[in-house]
Amino acid sequence: MDDIEDEEDRLISQGGAGIPIGPDGVPRPLLPPIAPQHVGRKCLVLDLDETLVHSSFKSIPQADYVVPVEIEYTWHNVYVIKRPGVDNFLKQMGELYEIVVFTASLSKYADPVLDRLDVGQTITHRLFRESCYNHKGNYVKDLSQLGRPIADTIILDNSPASYIFHPNNAVPVSSWFNDPHDTELTDLVPFLGDLGEVDDVRGVLDGAR
């Protein structure tokens, strides 16, 4: 047990596990090489559930869309509502950043939700539960495995457990369920616009929690 805890403390102190190495000895980062149109941009990692949208298996009368998802050979309707301001937020961030959605959800749920959400195709990459690092039962999004400079990587997430390895890269957001008057994404646009210009995001986000 002590060995496990020592390993976890080491991962937290060193900022993640680093880029995975394949069986052939070749590094296998979670993301492909950066596309030419994104060279020089920072990487903005966005959570999905309770950050950009809220989903429920229970019927939501005002749902923005309904996505059928197959779970254990049975189809279920997932009702999705969009956080206020999310469309404009994605559009504006897509002009400034390389956008990655990194969710602890399964792809068979998250992919169709993102297909409906990302009509402007501003999200460059999608990462799902299998790309998370299991840490004490939490799905940690280990930014050191992405293959992007950590000084240029920002994570926006409502769950502090998601970014436990990289607290100084995080922009915390409150969990959103259905408040129609929420303005958090809209309020973050100017801050994230400025953050895209700094040399090392960790110097700005240190202690932002």
- 87 in active site: no
Residue type, 74: T
Distance, CA of 96 to CA of 186 (rounded, Å)? 15
Q: Within a 10 A sphere around the Cβ of 89, how many other Cβ atoms?
A: 22
Name the catalytic one among 9, 49, 142, 157: 49
Q: Which two tokens stand for residue 196?
A: 């895209």
- 152 in active site: no
Distance, CA of 59 to CA of 40 (rounded, Å)? 43
Distance, CA of 78 to CA of 114 (rounded, Å)? 13
Nearest alpha-carbon partner for 136 in 107, 170, 160: 160
Name the catalytic one among 2, 3, 47, 206: 47
Phi, psi of 129 (to 5 degrees): -55, -40
| Residues recognised as catalytic | 47, 49
